[in-house]
């Protein structure tokens, strides 16, 4: 899992990893959620990948747009 940069130091996201059609997000609680094209839509997943790479805005995006749209909670 790649460490999330959290440029502003205010995110609940601590890590991420992604593939062609999914992104896994780790939160400061230790919970890991899998979001997929099927569960959240390709547009949302691609936006989340961009935000993850930039290190800013991912937690806010999740809370606003895809909060409950995860495929499964992994931990």
pLDDT tens digits, residue range 11-51? Answer: 999 999 999 999 999 999 999 999 999 999 999 999 999 99
Q: What pLDDT score does 67 carry?
A: 95
Nearest to 59 by CA among 10, 22, 2, 24: 10
Q: What pLDDT score does 1 carry?
A: 95
Domain residue ranges of the chain, discontinuous segments joined by +: 2-73
Q: How far is CA 55 from CA 10, 20, 23, 39, 64, in A?
A: 11, 19, 14, 23, 17
Q: What pLDDT score does 12 carry?
A: 96
Q: What pLDDT score does 3 carry?
A: 98
pTM of the model: 0.95
């Amino acid at each position: 899992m790649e460490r999330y940069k959290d440029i502003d130091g205010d995110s609940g996201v601590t890590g991420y990893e992604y593939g062609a059609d999914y992104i896994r997000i780790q939160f400061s609680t230790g919970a890991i959620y899998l979001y997929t094209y099927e569960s959240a839509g390709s547009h949302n997943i691609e936006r989340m990948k961009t935000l993850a790479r930039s290190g800013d805005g991912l937690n806010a995006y999740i809370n606003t747009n895809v909060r409950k749209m995860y495929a499964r909670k992994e931990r």
